[in-house]
Structure 1
Amino acid sequence: MQDRIQEISRKLASLKSTDRKMSMFGSSSHQYRTSSIPEDQADELRAFDWPEEYIEFLVSIGSGAGPYYGIWDLAKSLPSLEARWLCEVEIEWSYEESDEEIEARLKAAGATRNDCLTICDFGCGEVFLLAVRGPEEGTIWFDYGFGDASIRPCGVSRISFLDWYERWLDGGLRPRETA
């Protein structure tokens, strides 16, 4: 995993040097700066059995630079930790339904309960979550926020934290057409 983290770090440095005008969406807010966590704090997260690639990322690279408005630091993320229903399909619901009725429909659709941490703000009330415990542990989910009220995987299939982060880097490093 360390080789992969080093490659991600190299790509981040490359993106920072090529996007000097901060033209990538959200980059002006994090300015490609990062802040890593100390090893003793990482050990505390390991005691909770959180995904190792996320912990290693925080130790080696850190919060800050990342997709959209950046990777949240733990001080901002930890208060968001809560059990959430994660489901591949959109579930229609109304405020007239009871929690039990909604939960039954979620279970019938294959939804699972996972402890999730908000790690990144997409904007407009939409955020990215990392499942830190549960059947979907280690995968990234998109919370469509107030308008949709559903949480689904990023992309067409499950994606791990490092895959998600590296996909963002690769997209930023791809040559763009100029107008």
Structure 2
Amino acid sequence: MFITQVGNGGDGPPYYGMYSLDEACINTKEFNKNSNNFLREDFPLKEYWVWENETRWTDELKKKRKCVYYGNFILGTDGCAQYWTLIITGSQRGQVWMLADVGAQPCAPSLSFWDWYEYWLDGGSDWWREFKY
């Protein structure tokens, strides 16, 4: 409701601010040119994945990579092909993830949209403070 009824872009956790609803729709659709049902398809990940590190691309991995932008709504960008997204389908529904050209990762700890936004309002910016490498 915040995105559609209260906020319509502006300042926010993404470095370049939150996309307006129009910008978010355009960018979300751009990443999903090959699917008409991308908002209904389940987001395929349950944990972070750095696909840049894959050495052997099976058909299963290729399909999984193609579907990474399914089931999520782009909130804004930090630049350099890094996009903040709200997952809207699948097991991660309601969580905020960073999707980049090299991989995808949820916040650590996992954060809902409101927790993510409120953390930023309180001055927070370490989105992976609990991530264990």
TM-score, L = length of structure 2:
0.65
Residue 170, structure 1, aligned to residue 122, structure 2: yes
**Cα distance change on mapping 1:74 and 1:57 into 2, 3 Å:** closer
With over 3 angstroms needed to count, the CA separation of the structure-2 counterparts of 1:102 and 1:71, relative to structure 1, is: same
Superposition RMSD in Å: 2.8
Q: Give CA deviations for 1:11-53 in whole Å, capped at 9, x if unaligned.
A: xxxxxxxxxxxxxxxxxxxxxxxxxxxxxxxxxxxxxxxxxxx
Instruction: Give the structure 1 partner of residue 71 of structure 2.
Output: 115
> Aligned with 1:171: secondary structure?
coil
Partner SS state of residue 44, structure 2: strand
8 Å CA contact 2:75–2:83 kept in 1: the answer is: yes
Report the counterpart of residue 56 of structure 1 in structure 2: 2
The partner residue of 1:78 within 16, 22, 25 is: 25
Please tell me whether the aligned partners of residues 8 and 21 of structure 2 are also in contact (alpha carbons under 8 angstroms).
no
Ranges in structure 2 where 5+ consecutive residues have no aligned partner: 30-37, 125-133
Match of 1:153? 106
Compare CA radii of gyration and give the structure with the larger one: 1
Aligned residues: 107
Cα shift readout 1:33-75 (whole Å, capped 9, x = no counterpart): xxxxxxxxxxxxxxxxxxxxxx234312332121221111121
Return the TM-score normalized by structure 1: 0.50
Matching residue of 1:93: 54
**1:136 — aligned with what?**
92
- The amino acid that maps onto 1:119 is L
